[in-house]
Amino acid sequence: MEPTVYGIPNCDTVKKARAWLDAQGIAYRFHDFKKAGVPPERLAAWVRELGWEPLLNRQGTTWRKLDPTVQAQAADQDGATRLMLAQPSVIKRPVVEWPGRTSVGFQPAVWQNWIAER
C-alpha cells in the first residue's frame, strides 16, 4: 500500500516532502486540501491516533490571521477539529498516512527508518 500525502501543493514543506518521496522512488497518492477539503473521517482518525494538538499549526500565516476569538475557540479538541475542517490551512503539513501509522510534518529521518522496516 502506498502512502497518502495530505496537504496543499504550494506549501514549501509539502513540496519538500513530495520531492523527498520522489527521490526515494516511493509512489504515493496526494490529497489536496484546497481542492478536495479535509475528509472528516480521516481528521477524526488522525486526532484519535496523534491527538489534536500536533495537527493544529499555531505557527502558520493562517493561524496568525485568525481573529483571536476564533483562535480561542480552538482551545480544545472539539473546537480545534471544527476549525481544521473549516480552514484546512491551519493543519500542520503534510499529514502522511503510511501503512499502519500516520505522521505530521516533514520528517525524512523518521520516514527513512519506517521505509527500512518494510
Give, for 5, the enclosing helix (H) or strand (E): strand 4-7
Domains (range + CATH), the chain: 4-117 (3.40.30.10)
Residues 6+ apart with CB under 8 A from 109: none
Distance, CA of 29 to CA of 10 (rounded, Å): 16
Q: Over its length of 118 residues, how does the chain's per-residue pLDDT go in tens digits?
A: 799 999 999 999 999 999 999 999 999 999 999 999 999 999 999 999 999 999 999 999 999 999 999 999 999 999 999 999 999 999 999 999 999 999 999 999 999 988 888 7
- Please give the positions annotated as active site: 11
Give pLDDT, residue 117.
80
Give pLDDT, residue 113.
87
| Burial (CB count <10 Å: 0-12, 13-18, 19+), residue 95 | buried
Instruction: Quote the strand ranges of 8-116, DSSP E.
Output: 29-32, 95-98, 101-104
**3-state class of 78 per DSSP?**
helix
Give pLDDT, residue 115.
82
